Amino acid sequence: MPDTVDITALHGWIREFARLIADHKDLLTELDAAIGDADHGINMHRGMSAVVTTLESESPGRPSEIFKRTGMTLVSTVGGASGPLYGTAFLRMSAIAGDAESLDGTDLAKLLRAALDGVAQRGKASVGDKTMLDALSPAVEALESAIEDGQPLAVALGAAVRAAEEGRAATIPMVARKGRASYLGERSAGHQDPGATSVTFLLAAAATSLS
Amino acid sequence: MNKLINDPGNVVADALRGLAAAHPELRVDHEQRVVFRGDAPVRGKVGLVSGGGSGHEPLHAGFVGAGMLDAACAGEIFTSPVPDQMAAATNGVDGGAGVLHIVKNYTGDVMNFEMAAELAETEVVAVVIDDDVAVQDSLYTAGRRGVGVTVLVEKIAGAAAEEGRPLDAVAAVARKVNSQGRSMGVALSSCTVPAAGRPTFDLPDGEMELGIGIHGEPGRRRVPTGTAAEIAEMLLAPILADLDFTGGDGVICFVNGMGATPLIELYVMYQEVAAILGKAGVPIARSLVGPYITSLDMAGCSVTLLKADDEILRLWDAPVRTPALRWGV
């Protein structure tokens, strides 16, 4: 299979992310109950359901349009911190995608790098703060280095998912420094971060749908 | 758990319909979930917009009306409203003098209000409220949370706007109140988010969460429960250690219920708080006792002290006509 991601595959990515969120809604909410405010699964599920409805009715035909509709819908329906953070991630991907009709592995790495930078800026967070960045950042690095090494997209995305999973696990002992979990201080240690968990689903969905 | 709800997914929408029915003097945009003063926009007056997750009633919609907020945005339970709502509220209250956003310091609220200010069609100044002394080390946290002082800022800045002061001056009053106010809360029980259907955390009998926020997030420390006198001491000690409240014109003393604690217990707390302040040489100039910034059905209370001066007291005493605060009219 050639390493070209077409519009159908991108629609599949978003739908698969929505499905993973729906299937793990209770897990995300439980993780959030331990160190946050018990709504991450509920909010992401509401937002991604709205995204799927929007994409079905409008059926955008360019990568930049898919990401823009996804980002705008998440900003308008999720609320909390996740809305602006995921919304900004998709809007940055939309800006980088430009006029492209399809994407290759190098494009995808650039898009996800822009998403990562957008999330860091909007949230004023860094790696190690126990946030979604702790999974997203190593995943983007793994994707970039696999693509640079000339690996097929399937292999590169597989490496990104593994890096995200390791990053997600690494949030367990961390003491949170951003978001509501930071109010707990030391008591936030010992719990997996819900944002790092949901963003790992985004990468897992990419690996399933884009290669 | 028995609840007075229809569908757990419709609690916010149903409550807004109830608010509209009970208060025909307000205008409710059910699509955007924004509650407006009936006469908004008021020409030449700075508009005051606040908002946040639902579940803290009467905050914020209960404080919409003459002398307080011009509009309030209702998010999902404990979830920040979205920028579209805030922008609709902002444009809807713009009487030509600009709009003040009163934002409680939570990551989501701050980010959404930032995006809304970028979308709004008028001059916007945001004041972020961060009065919770339970959050100790602001270098390694998202900063202190906005809790009880939010109510006092909405009242006092609302009165300043009603006097016709310009945007910068109204914002300066709001910042002064925030910088001179401190709060600390305690939970005697968890709360239940309707869509989750069970308590957010387990709190065994005989224990309480000290340094609680307003979202069912655990506090900083779990300690054995005590008498009202002991709890008042635990709440006031960190407040008095954080800011010198002695001298001057005294304080506005606000004992707030978290939702499930009866008023009789809040008055028991108030007399303990008043006794401690008496010993500490902090005169009480005004008081407010009741559930004004709640956390659904959580039991417990918070104490807020605001260091007062002539201007603050005059604005506090100015007429206000809202569903939840009403005097002088």
CATH number at B114 reads: 3.40.50.10440
Q: What CATH number is given to the structural domain containing B306?
A: 3.30.1180.20
Interface touch B200/A177, C-beta < 8 Å? no
Please tell me whether residues B212 and B159 are part of one structural domain. no
Between CA B292 and CA B267 the distance in angstroms is: 14
CB A136 within 8 A of CB A116: yes
Out of B79, B145, B200, the one facing A79 most closely (by C-beta) is: B79
Name every chain A residue with its beta carbon within 8 A of the beta carbon of B201: 33
Confidence of residue A38 (pLDDT cuts 50, 70, 90): confident
Regarding whether B132 and B281 lie in a shared domain, the answer is: no
B260 and B142 co-located in one domain: no
B108 and B220 assigned to the same domain: no
Residue B36 domain flag: yes
Which of B127, B152, B180 is the endpoint of a domain? Answer: B180
Closest by CA to A116, choosing from A141, A147, A81, is A141
pLDDT of residue B221: 87
Spatial distance between the Cα atoms of B212 and A179, rounded to a whole number of angstroms: 15
Q: Give A92-151 as a 3 state SS string.
A: HHHHHHCCCCCEEHHHHHHHHHHHHHHHHHHHCCCCCCCCCHHHHHHHHHHHHHHHHCCC
Interface subset of B 249-288, CB within 8 angstroms of A:
none
B170 with B42, same domain: the answer is: yes
Phi, psi (rounded to 5 degrees) for B121: -100, 20
In a domain, B324, yes or no: no
Mean pLDDT of A39-50: 94
- Among candidate residues B216, B321, B221, B198, the one with its CA nearest the CA of residue A185: B221
**Domain shared by B108 and B72, yes or no:** yes
Average pLDDT of adjacent 10-residue blocks, chain B of 329 residues: 89 98 98 97 98 97 98 94 95 98 94 89 96 77 91 98 98 98 96 87 92 82 95 97 92 98 98 98 98 97 98 98 96
B55 touches A at CB < 8 Å: no
- Does residue B226 form part of some domain? yes
Three-class SS state of B258 = coil
Measure CA B270 to chain center.
Answer: 19
A:B CB pairs within 8 Å: 107
Count of beta carbons in the 10 Å neighbourhood of residue A98: 10
- B146 and B253: one domain? no
**Residue B30: inside a domain, yes or no?**
yes
Would the CB atoms of A179 and B142 count as touching at under 8 Å?
Answer: yes
A144 against B141, higher pLDDT:
A144
Q: Which residues of A touch B195 (CB under 8 A)?
A: 39, 42
Q: Residue B316's pLDDT is what?
A: 98
* The last residue of a domain, from among B180, B209, B239: B180
Choosing from B180, B203, B226, the residue where a domain stops is B180
Domain presence at residue B41 = yes
Q: Which residue of A35, A39, A77, A174 is the best one to mutate when testing the B interface, meaning the one whose CB has the most B CBs within 10 A?
A: A39
Q: Which residues of B are catalytic?
A: 56, 215
B171 and B210 co-located in one domain: no
Contact B108 A82 (CB under 8 A): yes
Amino acid letter, residue A93:
M
Domain extent for B124: 10-180
Same domain, B190 and B296: yes
* Domains, chain A, ordered by start: 4-209 (1.25.40.340)
Is residue A157 helix, strand or coil? Answer: helix
pLDDT of B102-138, one tens digit each? Answer: 999 998 999 999 989 988 889 999 999 999 999 875 5
Beta bridge partners of B210: B186, B221
**Three-class DSSP category at B192:** strand
Inter-chain touch A39–B136, beta carbons under 8 Å: no
Instruction: Domain count for chain B, please give it.
Output: 2
Q: Per the CB < 8 Å rule, is B82 touching A179?
A: no
Task: Indicate the burial class of B241 (C-beta count within 10 angstroms; 0-12, 13-18, 19 or more).
Answer: exposed
Span between the terminal Cα atoms of chain B, in Å? 40
Structural domain contains residue B276: yes
- B163 with B252, same domain: the answer is no
A25 in reach of chain B (CB within 8 A)? no
Q: Classify residue B322: in a domain, yes or no.
A: no
State whether B215 and A80 contact (CB < 8 Å). Answer: no
Q: What is the pLDDT of residue A1?
A: 40
Q: Identify whether residues B134 and B211 lie together within a single domain.
A: no
B25 lies in the same domain as B145: yes
In this complex, which of A29, A79, A123 lies closest to B75 when CB atoms are compared?
A79
pLDDT of residue A52 exceeding 90, the answer is yes
The sign of the torsion formed by the CA atoms of B218, B219, B221, B222 equals: negative
Is the CB of A38 less than 8 angstroms away from the CB of B112? no
Q: Report the alpha-carbon distance of residue B286 to residue A209 in Å, rounded.
A: 63
Asked if A101 is an interface residue toward chain B (Cβ–Cβ < 8 A), one would say no
In a domain, B254, yes or no: yes
